[in-house]
Amino acid sequence: MSRPKITVVGAGNVGGTVAQRLVETNCYDVVLVDIIEGVPQGKALDLAQAGPICGYDCSVVGTNGYGETDQSSVVVITSGVPRKPGMSRDELLATNTNIVKGVVREVARRSPDAVLLLVANPLDAMAHVAYRVSGFPKQRVVGMAGVLDSARFRSFIAGELGVSAAEVQAMVLGGHGDTMVPLLRYTTVAGRPVSEWLPKERLEALVQRTRDGGAEIVSLLKSGSAYYAPSAAVMTMVEAILKDQKRVLPCAAYCEGEYGLSGVFVGVPARLGRGGVEQIIEYELTPGERAALETSAAAVRELSAAVDRMLAS
């Protein structure tokens, strides 16, 4: 039986760890693509040699081109540059727009039925780039951020209470980082609202730590950023799609009327299955939550408008 093929573009820490998680399931053949000669080939060879030890025998190929990516079921796009000292937000946006545009043109032509899973930042804007450039239906372009943010929030709550993270359920909407909108009323520990477990000021501190989650890791590492948790979040989404699990996960999805938002990628609860984003699930929001989500969407709209100008020029 042939395995679904998954292409991972970008063989850095996130992409390399995504490839490792995928091959260790022994369910998928993986193509690892990067522009740096030798890096994807070396990582693929290393992963192949781990197979006899870890008990997998799926194919893993490293390449600097896109020929081997034909007919991929999912394409995970991690490529892009982090913001460097002295680099403006506009410069970062322009650089990563060009990178993602080039990647999407290549993979969409070779895998016209794939689901595109964006990890590159700024995430919602890069999902917009992929949507515009690929011409794919909105269901087959999705961004990873909310799964990571909600996992961070769950881990902080579990640590605070001394309970298993499996007992904590959380939903996070909006953008990745400062504009994140945690739905505290829908956050539960062993089925009970988290507000019954923790005082308001402790909850607010955990929310802020979640918003700063990526920056906290960057400050500790000194160079580089998080990759274990981001790659685990990607893995969760890939499995939900290819195993048609119908899981409801917070994802950057294209809204057309949901939550009163239209024409914008933003973090919302989405049911993921074989077709990608099969449905956006609408929670009842308080006026404050709705306002926060609209603020988050407005920030994305500004970036998306800038992207549209770049793509038109």
- pTM greater than the 0.85 cutoff: yes
User: In angstroms, rounded to a whole number, what is the distance separating the alpha carbons of residues 119 and 35?
Assistant: 17
Tally of CB atoms within 10 A around 16: 25
Same domain, 66 and 137: yes
Assess whether 135 and 277 both reside in one domain.
no
Mean pLDDT for the stretch of residues 268-296: 96
Q: In the chain, how long is the greatest CA-to-CA distance?
A: 55
The bridge status of strand 172-174 relative to strand 247-256 is: unpaired
**Model pLDDT for residues 231-267, shown as the tens digit of each residue:** 999 999 999 999 999 999 999 999 999 999 999 999 9
For residues 262 and 129, state if they share a domain: no
Q: Tens digit of pLDDT for each residue in 74-109?
A: 999 999 887 777 777 778 899 999 999 999 999 999
Per DSSP, what are the bridge partners of residue 256? 262
Do 51 and 193 belong to one domain? no
Q: What is the mean pLDDT of the chain?
A: 95
Taking 80 as the threshold, does the pLDDT of residue 70 lie above it? yes
Domain of 177, CATH number, reads 3.90.110.10
> Which of helix, strand or coil describes residue 290?
helix
Residue 44: is its pLDDT beyond 80?
yes
Domain that holds residue 241: 146-312
Are residues 161 and 89 part of one domain? no
Residue where one domain finishes, among candidates 143, 173, 203:
143
Sheet containing strand 74-77, edge to edge, reads 60-63, 29-33, 5-9, 74-77, 115-118, 141-143, 247-256, 262-273, 276-280
Q: Is 47 in the same domain as 150?
A: no
The residue behind tokens 């039925």 is 113
Percentage of residues in the chain having pLDDT higher than 90? 89
Crossing angle of helices 13-24 and 39-54, in 10° steps, is 30
Range name among 11-25, 84-98, 227-241, 276-290 with the lowest pLDDT average: 84-98
What total of structural domains would you count in the chain?
A: 2
Whether 81 and 222 share a structural domain = no
Q: What is the pLDDT of residues 129-171, one digit of tens each?
A: 999 999 999 999 999 999 999 999 999 999 999 999 999 999 9
For residue 203, the SS3 value is helix
Whether residue 298 sits in one domain with residue 151: yes
Model confidence at 228, in pLDDT bands (50, 70, 90)? very high
Distance in angstroms (rounded) separating the CA atoms of residues 192 and 219:
34
Q: What pLDDT does 46 receive? A: 98
Catalytic residues: 176
